Structure formats: C-alpha cells, structure tokens
Structure 1
C-alpha cells in the first residue's frame, strides 16, 4: 500500500493499513478498540469507552469555528470475516493482506474490511489532522455492527452533544444516503428424527460452491444464486434414486448471501451412476439459469464415509420443503428511488444440531423500508416454517431511517459536491441496515446523512474499494466539515 501515500487520501490509507493489521471480526473487536484507545492517549485526544463497548472521541473546534454547529462522525469497529474455501486464514489472529489491483484495492482471497474500515480510517484521520477546519467534533465508533448492531442498540441517549450526524458506512461515491431499510431476524429450530443407516448402503456429499455471495442488502437484487435454496432445489429434483438426507448445512452469516451449501445423502450403491448423471444435468441447468450473475460455481457429487444415521422420511421431507419453498430474494422495489429494493429476505444460514435436541437451526434476515411490510414478511415466514414443525422466533428488530432529502446537511453536502466535482450527487436510500435508524430513536433532533467511497461486493472475498473514489470521499468530507455553519 506504500504507493497510495502519493494520493490525496494518503491520511486515510495510512490509518487503513494499520487497521488491516489488527484482527477485528464481529464480536472480537478488543484488539482494534484497545489500539484506538492507546492511539488517542498518545495524541492527547479525549476517548471514552461506554458500557457496551462503543468509543466516543472528541476534538475541540478549529480556531474561529467554536460557534459552529457541533458535528458527529460515525463508523463501526468490526468487519465481516469471509474467505474463499481454499484460503488458509484465521480472522482472529491473522492480518488482512491488502492488494492493489489496478484501480482497486482488494484483499488476498478474504474480505477486505473496507466496510467500514475506510470510514473508520477517515474518522481517525480527521482527528489526527490539525489543518482540517471544523466545528466542535465528536467521533462515535460503534461495536458489533455487522452481526447485531449491538453498539447502536446499546448507545444511551445524552452521551453525545452534536447536532449534525455523518455516517461513513455507505458504499457508492457520488451518492448521499438519506434513508435506509430496517430489518428483523427470523430464527427457526426445525426438529428432526433419525434412524440408523443400513451398512449395505453408500453415502455421497452433494455440494454447491463457488458462488459470489455478497451483502444480503445491497447485492440482493443482482440475481445471484443462494446456495441453500439451490441445494434444496437440487435435492427436491434428485429423483434418480431413493435417498435420505443425513446432514445439511450452508451459509455462515445472516447478512451475507450464502455462497456454499453441503448435504450428505445415503442410498443404494447401484444408483451412483444415475446420481452423477442427474447432478451433471442440474449443473448445466443452474449454469444457464445464472449465466448473467454467476461465473464460476460447481455442483458436485462425491462418495464419502457412511454416516451412522439418516433423517426419517418425514423429517427428510420437512427439511427439503421448508428450505425449497422458503421465500427468498427481492419482494418489492421502492417507487421513489431508482433501483432501490424496498423489501427482501435472505435465507442465510442452516446448521445441524445433534445431541439432546436434534434440530436444524435456520436464520433468515428480512429487510424493508416499510415497517408494516417487514413484519408481514416475518409473519409469513413464521407460518411457513411452522407447517413443517419449526419453532420460530423473531429478534433483533431495528427500524429503518425515514428519508429526508430536505435536511440541512444534505443541502450542505450537495453544494460542496457540486463545487468540487462539477455535478450534483444522487440522493439515495440504501437497502441495508445502517445504524442511523436506531440513532433516530434516541437522538431525534440529529440532522443525519450517510456517504462513503465506492466499495463493491462487501461481505464476500470479492470485496474491493475503488482507490480514486477514496480521494473524492476524503475531499468531500473535509469540505463538508468546513462548510457546516
């Protein structure tokens, strides 16, 4: 990353390089939090850790700016830990390795953490730079945003004094975000019964892998395959042999489109050739179905060790039907903003639990700009899984952020953007759960906006950030801070 030091956004790249060196997957932010606290102490910057683990850093106004409106910059500590299947990487101990790839910065077959590491780097860079002109400044760095918005939920009213709030967690340069979707988790426990396998039978692992995955909000409308759904469809159409499922799993994060899914099935060995033929046919069919959105993925059938048990016929049918017929993807689009999803769901994770309780744990994340529609979808999914014996609970409900294109901070940033780049930015709503929606409840007087550089394919190993867009983002951030009256 040394060559990025010649770019206008060099201060951001310096901090981002440090951030990449420190492991910070969600719920494991201790190292990055302690690094920021120590950095703040060394630079005489006030830093407070609240009860939930958020950090609040403060910096006095520049000379002559003491009477300006106080501003809050906000980012989050954590990153999504995703890697390619053949990549050896421990997100708890290993640094992220940034790679310059032409006009983009990516990682070495893992998520980069530009979401929201670039935003965090920019906030620290503002705190560190005595030449940037601004009014009274607070920086809020929240904890565990990606897996539960824990920091936003736990932020107490009255902790911050600012009136203008700038979130740095958006992912398209040239767009100013004035609203976001809310979300709710639908968690399912689907019980199953099992029976012993016959030692004369054979076992095979069916896998779907190599899908692009991506962010379950901003990428949900790109027509990408959901590995869990497609594996369930494969099993539903696998009529070449009488078989029973022994195990099934897929996905890893509730807010990422699942890229891989696997099932072990058991049947008579005489059907192996027939199974291989059907799997090959289904591979061709899926390749045609996703020819515009998926470039490299495989459906494979491999012999494996015979497991000791399989699902009973009823449990087998319940599992396949529950997954194959689960609503997934885009339900409606927002008529007020072009190409913005209004309501969607993501069948995100399936894991198998055995022991005192034999059950499949299924996670679905619903997002919507409309509170009523969000709860209607949750109720529909609840009824769907209950018909197959599932025990369903909803949790983590968070509100959306109602768009306000007439806000003062939007007008300020629009003016600064046009002055810097010669054209107007787009006012947008993001189909993702920015923390802004939660902050609205506790700080209703805040005038809020969100913006950021261009980040493609967050939450997947294909994540990359456009280098030139970081330069523009940095220029706009500095100009905005100066222009706020």
Structure 2
C-alpha cells in the first residue's frame, strides 16, 4: 500500500510527492519549484524570494467569507538529513522511501521529513481544495529552518498582511504551542599542527539515541562528542597517544549520536588501549542504563597512515570538550517541567589543521543566552581557541489572552471532547522571527503526532493526521475574524 492511498488522501498524496523531492536544509530549490508550480497550475498568486521562500495567496471561500481578515499558515520546506551508519542514502539526490508500520509512516534508515513536510502537505491540500470554507489565506513556505531559521529571517515582512498565523511545525496533536525559546550559535576554532601518523585505527562512539536538542535536551541522553573526549582523555593519560581527524555530530539542533577520530596505536601497546576503551564502554552503559542501552565505544579496524596531533594538543582539545557545558542549565521557575535555558555541544569537525566546535544555546531570555555564551567563550579562551557568536534568533513570548487561541481551543474541545494542553516549548520556532518582524501577530503552533524527529526512524501517526486534518478544516471554517483582538 502506498502512503498516497491513506486517509486523508488529499494530504498523504501531497506528502508522497514531497518525499520524492530531495530537500535537505540549504538545498530546497526543487521543493520551492514544486510549490511554485503548484500555485501556477491553479492560478494562485505567489511570491518567491532569493532564499526560495514562497508565499501563496488564496482568496476566501464560502458564504460570507470574502470580507474576513486574512489568516496566515506557515511551514518550512527543508528537512534534517540524518541516516544510519549503514545507509548509502544521498539526501541531495535520492527520494525518501516511506514505509507504513501499523499506525505509523516512517523511514527506518533515514529521517522521514515529516518535520515539516506534513505541515507543507497540509497547506498544499488546503490550497488545492475547492470545498473547504476559509478566510483569505496567506500560505508561507520558508527554507533553511533546521540550520538556523535563516529563511524566515530573510522573509520580507511586507509580504504578510495577515495578523493571525497558524504555524504547522508542532509534533503533538493534543498540544497548542504559544511560545518558544530564542537561541544563538557559538563556534570555537583553533589551528593544530599535524604530522604523519602510522598504524592509525578508528576510535568511534556510536549507538546513541540523539534527538532534537530543544525537545529532548531534558532527557539525559548521552552526547557522543563528550564521550569521545572521555575516551581520548582515558587512552591519552600516561603513555600519551597521537590522534587526528576528530569529528562528531552533524547538526546544530541535534544531540550528537556519533563521534570518532583516528588514533595512532603505539607498537608496544599490547592491547592496553582497547582494554581502556572497553572499560569506558561498560562505565557509560552503567551510567546511562535505561537511556543509552545501545552505546558502543570501539577502537579498531583497518590500520592506515593519517595526519595526527601531538599528545599535548589532544589534551588541549579534550580539556575544552570536557569543560564546555551541555544539557539543561535551568528549568523554568514559573512553568513546571519547562526547560528555560540549555546548551547543546553539537558539532566537532576538522578541515586539515583547522578544528571547530559548534554549540547551540537556547533560552527565551536574551540575558541568560548571553551569560551562557560568555561562559563558553571563557572556556575557549583558556584553551587557546577563538570564539564567535552567530545565528541568533528571538524567542516568542506567550499571549495567553489571545482570542484566536480561545476560539481554536473551543473548536478542538467540541471535536474531541477534551481540552488541548497549552504550553511554551524550549525548541525554536519560526513564530519567534516572524512575530518579531511582523508586529501585532497572534500566533499558535499545532501539528499531528510526530516522533523521533531529527533521527533515522522519524515517524508520523496515521490516525493522528486524520484527526489533525479534521481539526484544521474545522478551524478554517470556524474563524471569521471576530476572534481577533487588538491587545
């Protein structure tokens, strides 16, 4: 059975089409072409900018809707390109191949792109419908959300006349999101002299769960970069070893699942390094029992010559990696269970002799983000690294008095017999940027049940999407502008 045969068919067909289009962050041109062609073939007004953001306008439909204030719908075109170590998938060339597994549509070896392809598909289904009543619509398709919300940051605010917006980038049917964290990225750099090393073998950390660094940061999941630093520190202690090509993580907003390097094993090692690595794996399995039960720390494989750094340089790098913060810094004092401030030790990379470490800081409070950034920069200076801040984006302050919120809650309760949970989240959403650039905007973020975002095996619930389509259809029919307030 194809996913295009699932119900609601009008949504699944659009998502199936998206799965055939490669659209990793930074390479959304073909997806933008698809959306533009969709608008052109239906005679809908559209705008497109140099960042491949697309806005499509659709006139009001239904009795008495022509004079209604416009409503914006918004989702992002790009997806996180993550795959298992055994997958040969090329995200710039290959289609995603979704699989139906019970109540879920998933992609076992790669990310699925339900984040945020389902939101895009819902918007396209709404634009295509000749039956759904709705106010005038402004459907906003943004790009490069996953790497730093850069598409929304470059969006021309003059495009948007609506002052009510529903973002379709949430992952729980029963949750309405009305606020989010802001964030900033920090990149630490240094140059390390390398020499030719002999008999180098891979040291790797694999099998971690990873996950979204906003949503799952409070789950005590392991960080592969931190574990690699522990392993290097362990085997470098005493004898001193050489290592090179350090790497770990791949995305600023994903907790690192894998990390590794090349290690020059001394001729007189006698198996000591392997024993130390095995001992560390056992320790980590005990420390993270019930959380990271599949962790593997391995030293070995085909030996080869490789550029390596001296033991004192390894110590400098591992000291920094072990001293940098990672995880929850502070929980909210007013909202139970909400992470207020956190940091993700996200990416470790080398390009020749240039080594870089990337961290992502989140908090709705700019003062907290700045204070945590100062700590990161201080640690960098002590280790002889340079440090720079970039990719900063604003948070989204909740509006609990929103009439749009109250109307949507009423519609939801009428359909499903229960009230939705209303909360702020620790992840970053484009609502923060769009709301900052377009003044006076009432915003809510919603979506069906999507799990394991940003990791292979990402999945979306079939039954949840059916309910979500019923809900968003009722919302479009049930809001007419009287819920708008001038707050």
TM-score scaled by length of structure 1: 0.95
Shift of 1:214: 1.2
Measure the CA separation in 1 of the matches of 2:13 and 2:386: 49
Shift of 1:314: 3.0
The aligned residue for residue 342 of structure 2 is: 344
Residue 155 of structure 2 corresponds to residue 181 of structure 1: no
The aligned residue for residue 323 of structure 2 is: 325
Residue 393 of structure 2 corresponds to residue 398 of structure 1: yes
The aligned residue for residue 2 of structure 1 is: 2
The aligned residue for residue 218 of structure 1 is: 215
Root-mean-square deviation (CA, aligned residues, Å) is: 1.6
Query: What are the within-5 Å matches in structure 2 for residues 369-448 of structure 1?
Result: 369-448=364-443
Measure the CA separation in 1 of the matches of 2:193 and 2:323: 21
Structure 1 segments unaligned to the other structure (5+ residues): none
Distance 1:31 1:396, change over 3 A: same
Measure the CA separation in 1 of the matches of 2:262 and 2:456: 26
Shift of 1:432: 1.1
Measure the CA separation in 2 of the matches of 1:240 and 1:205: 20
The SS at the match of 2:308 is strand
**Maintained 8 Å contact 1:72/1:138:** yes
Cα-to-partner distance string for 1:32-80 (whole Å, 9 max, x where unaligned): 1111111211112222112432101011111321122210000011001
The aligned residue for residue 448 of structure 2 is: 453
Cα-to-partner distance string for 1:255-294 (whole Å, 9 max, x where unaligned): 1111111122224222241122211111111111122212
The aligned residue for residue 234 of structure 2 is: 237
Residue 30 of structure 2 corresponds to residue 31 of structure 1: yes
- Deviation >4 Å, runs of 4+: none
Distance 1:389 1:240, change over 3 A: closer
The aligned residue for residue 125 of structure 1 is: 125
Query: What are the within-5 Å matches in structure 2 for residues 55-454 of structure 1?
Result: 55-63=54-62, 64-197=64-197, 202-238=199-235, 239=237, 241-307=239-305, 309-354=307-352, 358-454=353-449
Shift of 1:108: 3.5
The aligned residue for residue 50 of structure 1 is: 49
The aligned residue for residue 483 of structure 2 is: none
TM-score scaled by length of structure 2: 0.95
**Maintained 8 Å contact 2:347/2:359:** yes
Residue 467 of structure 2 corresponds to residue 469 of structure 1: no
**Maintained 8 Å contact 1:240/1:271:** no
The aligned residue for residue 12 of structure 2 is: 13
**Maintained 8 Å contact 2:3/2:13:** no
Distance 1:229 1:44, change over 3 A: same
**Maintained 8 Å contact 1:343/1:373:** yes
Measure the CA separation in 2 of the matches of 1:86 and 1:160: 44
Distance 1:309 1:34, change over 3 A: closer
Structure 2 segments unaligned to the other structure (5+ residues): 481-487
The SS at the match of 1:472 is helix
Q: Mean alpha-carbon deviation: is it higher for 262-271 or for 12-21?
A: 262-271
Shift of 1:344: 0.8
Measure the CA separation in 2 of the matches of 1:337 and 1:307: 54
Distance 1:77 1:121, change over 3 A: same
The aligned residue for residue 484 of structure 2 is: none
Cα-to-partner distance string for 1:147-171 (whole Å, 9 max, x where unaligned): 1212111112221111211100011
The number of equivalent residue pairs is: 478
Measure the CA separation in 2 of the matches of 1:309 and 1:168: 47
